[in-house]
């Protein structure tokens, strides 16, 4: 796991706030049922697991993530005895075949090197008749990232190459094709839109100083002078030149897919 995803608290401050708002919208689309065992693939800091736990009373919920730091952090956030977390790879899930009734994955599929393997594994560990779903950011739909990299490229043409923006599983129809290639039935894809408010510019900027995600890793690599130039460019973009600091909101668009394991 790259170092940029190793700081659980920093990641929570930068991206976790988005996950918390997206998770219930995605869970509704996934047609979450309060029965049997539910698997969250790429559970990260536990945002989706926490939502699932709040929406269910009977289900056993398991989160799996390759980052030990994320798993350790998630374990401190949820005290529900129905919930557990394990370290594991989405492309080789450490669970028996047909051992879950539902499998979900939030904001992970676009980072997996071989998403076909992950989709097949999610199908494998889900019982016949069970549902398998995933949700990713639309490549051009997350203003937090697009605005950041647009301003970075203005100052540094090489910034685009360092953005590490995912190139798969984040365009309309790609998740549908992935689910169909895994042999899932009744595949349905949808777009989920949302907004996230920021109390001030620093509320937006400060999490970028934690060195997490591609944005944070890029900021950490800059000299103090270049970092300040990027900060000023982003402030002007978000607030307007000469305007006082204040609240604003950014938009986001996610893509979600759902399918059924053949009986």
Cα–Cα distance, 131 to 255 (Å, whole number) = 17
Q: Which fold has domain 3-260?
A: Rossmann fold (3.40.50)
Task: Note the pLDDT of residue 165.
Answer: 66
Q: Note whether 256 and 192 are within 8 A (CB).
A: yes
Which strand ranges, in their side-by-side order, compose the sheet holding 60-65?
Answer: 83-87, 60-65, 37-41, 100-104, 126-142, 248-260, 185-198
Q: What is the pLDDT along the chain (263 residues), one digit of tens a residue?
A: 444 444 545 555 556 677 888 999 999 999 999 999 999 999 988 989 999 999 999 999 999 999 998 899 899 989 999 999 999 999 999 999 999 999 999 999 998 999 999 999 999 999 999 999 999 999 888 898 899 999 999 999 989 887 766 678 889 999 999 999 999 999 999 999 999 889 999 999 999 998 877 888 899 999 999 999 999 999 999 998 778 999 999 999 999 999 999 99
3-class SS at 255? strand
Q: Quote the pTM value.
A: 0.85
In degrees rounded to 5, what are phi and psi of residue 99? -100, 0
CB-count exposure of residue 243 (10 Å: 0-12, 13-18, 19+): exposed
Domain boundaries, the chain: 3-260
């Amino acid at each position: 796991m790259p170092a940029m995803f190793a700081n659980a608290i920093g990641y929570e401050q930068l991206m976790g706030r988005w996950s918390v708002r997206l998770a219930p919208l995605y869970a509704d689309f996934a047609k979450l049922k309060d029965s049997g065992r539910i698997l969250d693939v790429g559970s990260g800091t536990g945002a989706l697991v926490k939502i699932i736990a709040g929406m269910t009373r009977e289900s056993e919920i398991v989160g799996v993530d390759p980052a030990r730091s994320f798993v350790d952090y998630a374990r401190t956030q949820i005290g529900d005895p129905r919930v557990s977390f394990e370290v594991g790879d989405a492309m080789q899930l450490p669970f028996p075949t047909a051992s879950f009734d539902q499998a979900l994955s939030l904001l992970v599929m676009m980072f997996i090197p071989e998403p076909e393997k992950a989709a097949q594994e999610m199908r494998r560990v889900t019982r016949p008749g069970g549902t398998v779903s995933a949700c990713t950011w639309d490549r051009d739909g997350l203003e937090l990232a697009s605005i950041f990299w647009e301003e970075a490229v203005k100052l540094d043409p090489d910034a685009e190459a360092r953005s590490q923006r995912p190139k798969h599983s984040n365009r309309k129809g790609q998740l549908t094709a992935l689910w169909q290639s895994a042999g899932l039935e009744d595949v349905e894809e949808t777009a989920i839109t949302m907004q996230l408010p920021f109390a001030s510019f620093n509320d937006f900027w400060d999490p970028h100083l934690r060195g997490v995600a591609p944005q944070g890793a890029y900021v950490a690599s800059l000299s103090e002078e270049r970092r300040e130039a990027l900060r000023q460019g982003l402030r002007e973009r978000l607030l307007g030149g000469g305007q006082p600091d204040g609240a604003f909101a950014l938009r986001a668009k996610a893509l979600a897919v759902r399918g059924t394991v053949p009986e």
